[in-house]
């Protein structure tokens, strides 16, 4: 293998690879660069309180900041060509702390390890292969064999408000008695009557404007937080493997978008490992690698690099 397929890639090397792929854009995030932020309210149902002592999953409402974004790491992506979207939520807890859920509209992460993710970026940017040729290369590589079909199954969203978003990684709920239950999180859109067909509110080439029009015309943007509970045989630490759909689920509460955030969320870091008492990170290597990558990206962004 060549040096480009080295093992034990560092967070800085991962960010450097992204910058080599698409260039650098001083002051911007290195991934999910373009987006829009809102203030919101989360109203827990209380149904999750049997599994966790986390404050925001009991019964009292908590404020939240929500950022919808495009996966591609440039400030002006072609939205129709990049169907992967993100939804990051920061819950503001009563004690002044916060916890994050950083999610995407795909059900699993696209690789098993950080090194594989960097190799994926390298394959996708090799020249002079066309996109179809690159997908064929990926299909022949065992660690990426399912990725081409996943990408082909994605359709350009008509709205951030009509997508399902998944945590990709597993976490542990910790009860008041100290018992642990592995879970994955999903945001499911709760659409207004008459919009069950997932109607859009404007040209699909500008999803930020589409969200603004929804709010301006009085249509609510709401999501249910669904917890999928793992069975003993489920793989907890591999984010590329789906759990069976028949696993027990819990409706943990309702998130309602209230208004566009005046100060945006440009300086906020939605680190997916920032949990609170009552929720713990799994041992998933991708999850733990993302945290320092976010740190490197944030440091460069804040310092105008």
Q: Which residues are catalytic?
A: 32
State the distance between the two ends of the chain, measured CA to CA, in whole angstroms: 32
Residue 221: phi, psi to the nearest 5? -115, 110
For residues 69, 184, 45, 163, the Cα torsion angle rounded to the nearest 10 degrees is 30
Q: Residue 32, by phi and psi: left (phi above 0), alpha (psi -120 to 50) or beta?
A: left
Which residue from 99, 55, 92 is spatially nearest to 252, judged by alpha carbons?
55
DSSP 66-96: EEEEESSSSSS--GGG---EEEEEEEE-TTS
CA angle 257, 260, 266 (to 5 degrees): 110
Candidates 88, 90, 66, 104; CA nearest to 264 is 66
Cβ pair 284, 170 in contact under 8 A? yes
∠ CA 101-121-21, nearest 5°, is 100
Distance from C-alpha of 10 to C-alpha of 2, rounded to nearest angstrom: 17
CA 135/CA 129 separation, integer angstroms: 10
The two most distant CA atoms of the chain are separated, in Å, by: 58
Local structure of 285: helix, strand or coil: helix
């Amino acid at each position: 293998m060549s040096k480009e397929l080295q093992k034990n890639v560092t967070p800085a090397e991962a960010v450097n690879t992204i910058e080599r792929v698409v260039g650098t854009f001083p002051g911007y995030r290195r991934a999910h660069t373009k987006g829009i932020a809102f203030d919101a309210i989360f109203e827990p149902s209380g149904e999750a309180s049997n599994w966790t002592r986390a404050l925001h999953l009991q019964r009292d409402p908590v404020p939240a900041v929500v950022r919808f974004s495009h996966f591609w790491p440039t400030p002006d992506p072609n939205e129709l060509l990049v169907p992967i979207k993100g939804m990051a939520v920061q819950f503001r807890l009563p004690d002044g702390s916060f916890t994050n859920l950083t999610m995407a509209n795909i059900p699993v992460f696209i690789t098993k390890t950080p090194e594989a993710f960097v190799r994926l970026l390298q394959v996708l940017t090799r020249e002079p292969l066309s996109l179809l040729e690159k997908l064929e290369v990926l299909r022949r590589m065992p660690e990426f064999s399912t990725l081409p079909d996943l990408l082909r199954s994605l359709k350009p969203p008509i709205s951030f408000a009509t997508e399902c978003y998944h945590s990709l990684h597993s976490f542990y709920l910790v009860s008041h008695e100290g018992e642990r239950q592995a879970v994955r999180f999903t945001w499911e859109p709760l659409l207004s009557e008459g919009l069950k067909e997932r109607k859009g509110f404007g040209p699909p080439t500008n999803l930020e404007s589409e969200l603004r029009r929804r709010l301006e015309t009085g249509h609510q943007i709401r999501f249910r937080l669904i917890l999928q509970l793992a069975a003993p045989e489920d793989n907890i630490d591999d984010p590329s493997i789906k759990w069976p759909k028949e696993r027990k689920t819990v409706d943990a509460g309702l998130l309602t978008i209230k208004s566009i955030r005046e100060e945006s969320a440009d300086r906020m870091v939605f680190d997916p490992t920032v949990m609170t008492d009552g929720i713990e990170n799994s041992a998933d290597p991708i999850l733990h690698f993302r945290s320092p990558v976010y740190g490197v990206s944030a440091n460069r962004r804040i310092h105008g690099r």
